[in-house]
Amino acid sequence: MKIKITGVGSYIPEVKVANIDFDKHVFLNDDGSPFGYTNEVVIEKFKSITGIEQRRYAAPEQCSSDLAFLASQKAIENAGIDPETIDYIIFAHNFGDVKYGTNQSDMIPSLATRVKHKLQIKNPKGVAYDILFGCPGWIEGVLQSNAFIKSGMAKRCLVIGAETLSRVVDDHDRDSMIYSDGAGATIIEASDDETGLLSYESATFAYDEAEYLFFGKSYNPNLDPDIKYIKMYGRKIYEFALSQVPTAMKNCLDKSGLGIDDVKKILIHQANEKMDEAIIHRFYKLYGKSVPKDIMPMSIHELGNSSVATIPTLFDLLISGKIENQEIHKGDVIIFASVGAGMNVNAFVYRY
């Protein structure tokens, strides 16, 4: 028995924020000193590295659980199921619900419980819980669903990835331009045919790497140092991703029994275009191969990095034909892969 995704939905916020909207920001170095060049140069370099042209932010009245609820509704409708039959609701996020104008995290009750409430599910045996696993959280939720279903503990799971990173960014940190908001949700069920999850890989590197992503004070020394924002050591993350993600993908593919030429698409966390391209090139190099054309659909150019939401949103866009020059067919083999705070790395091979 395998598991497969029987329903998928996403919610892409309506508020568009273009790179030019950061032109008036006062960007500072981590020691509080000003940059030696203009914002125009900052934005130009940013786009050339990340590929991001614009991103989406949640409306002021929305929080992560609101975005997740909307994506979940679509996934349930897409699967054609009764939500009362969902055994587990697994919600991957990083910062909980953060109200507009604040950066205080609210996780009581859990966001999964909030989504269950918004869906008006009465069945108390539909267990709802959150997972904190960085950007790879949605994939980890799928892997947990795999364990629940194969063990007989569940027949059907709702796995959600949602985040409102725009609420926890330091406006004086140029990395704030990377982050965005969004939600993706999937229904996971048992599969008795040839489709579904074939193999997986998951790991946490915490000896030296635990604090590559962290919560830290603003780069503006005049702001309250006790108010924290999402921060990262970009170069360390880049080097870590290039050394660990391709290996995890190869281990995963090798365990599936399939070859590199069987892979039709790779859906990788939309963190940084240059980094994602480098990961894919290194992955194919492990097999002595060149990267095929159109192997890696991308959404980061228009949607930015919405953390746990990027992969399920990308998958939804792909199967609904909303990514230019990209299509997927029944029986195609896909590799899903992610990297993020922890530092966590995971992947799974999936036959569509």
CATH number at residue 273: 3.40.47.10
Domain count, the chain: 2
Residue 24 placed within a domain: yes
Q: Do residues 169 and 241 both lie within one domain?
A: no
Q: How many Cβ atoms sit within 10 Å of the Cβ of residue 193?
A: 8
Beta bridge partners of 214: 231
Residue 71 placed within a domain: yes
**Amino acid 225: pLDDT:** 93
Q: Do residues 148 and 239 both lie within one domain?
A: no
- Cα–Cα distance, 340 to 187 (Å, whole number): 23
Q: Do residues 179 and 253 both lie within one domain?
A: no
Q: Are 4 and 189 in contact (CB under 8 A)?
A: yes
Element spanning 276, H or E = helix 273-285
Residue 223 placed within a domain: no
Residue 177 placed within a domain: yes
**Amino acid sitting at position 181:** D
Cα separations in angstroms, 139 against 135, 188, 277: 9, 12, 20
Q: How many Cβ atoms sit within 10 Å of the Cβ of residue 99?
A: 15
Q: Do residues 8 and 38 both lie within one domain?
A: yes
**∠ CA 296-300-301, rounded to 5°:** 105
Q: Do residues 124 and 22 both lie within one domain?
A: yes
Given 194, 209, 243, the domain boundary residue is 194
Q: Model confidence over 300-311: pLDDT tens digits? A: 999 999 999 999
Instruction: For residue 11, report the phi and psi dihedrals to the nearest 5 degrees.
Output: -130, 120
In 3D space, the residue among 267, 4, 311 whose CA is nearest the CA of residue 134 turns out to be 311
Q: Which residue has the tokens 């006790």?
A: 226
**Amino acid 273: pLDDT:** 95
Q: How many Cβ atoms sit within 10 Å of the Cβ of residue 100?
A: 14
Q: Containing domain of residue 343, as a range?
A: 198-218+231-351
Q: Do residues 27 and 150 both lie within one domain?
A: yes
Q: How many Cβ atoms sit within 10 Å of the Cβ of residue 102?
A: 11
Q: Do residues 114 and 12 both lie within one domain?
A: yes
- Cα–Cα distance, 131 to 134 (Å, whole number): 9
- Cα–Cα distance, 200 to 336 (Å, whole number): 9
In 3D space, the residue among 129, 119, 120, 142 whose CA is nearest the CA of residue 91 turns out to be 129
**Amino acid 1: pLDDT:** 85
Strand duo 263-268 + 333-340: pairing: parallel
Q: Is 88 helix (H, G, I), strand (E, B) or coil?
A: strand
- Cα–Cα distance, 305 to 12 (Å, whole number): 12
Residues of the chain under the 70 pLDDT cut: none
**Amino acid 231: pLDDT:** 96
Tell me if the bond preceding 343 is cis, omega within 30° of 0: yes
Instruction: Give pTM, 2 decimals.
Output: 0.96
Residue 225 placed within a domain: no
Q: Do residues 322 and 250 both lie within one domain?
A: yes
Q: Do residues 39 and 120 both lie within one domain?
A: yes
Q: Do residues 143 and 203 both lie within one domain?
A: no
**Amino acid 197: pLDDT:** 97
Encoded tokens for 162:
């949602």
Residue 19 placed within a domain: yes
Q: Do residues 9 and 42 both lie within one domain?
A: yes
Q: Is 51 helix (H, G, I), strand (E, B) or coil?
A: coil
Beta bridge partners of 209: none
**Amino acid 103: pLDDT:** 83
Residue 224 placed within a domain: no
Q: Do residues 150 and 209 both lie within one domain?
A: no
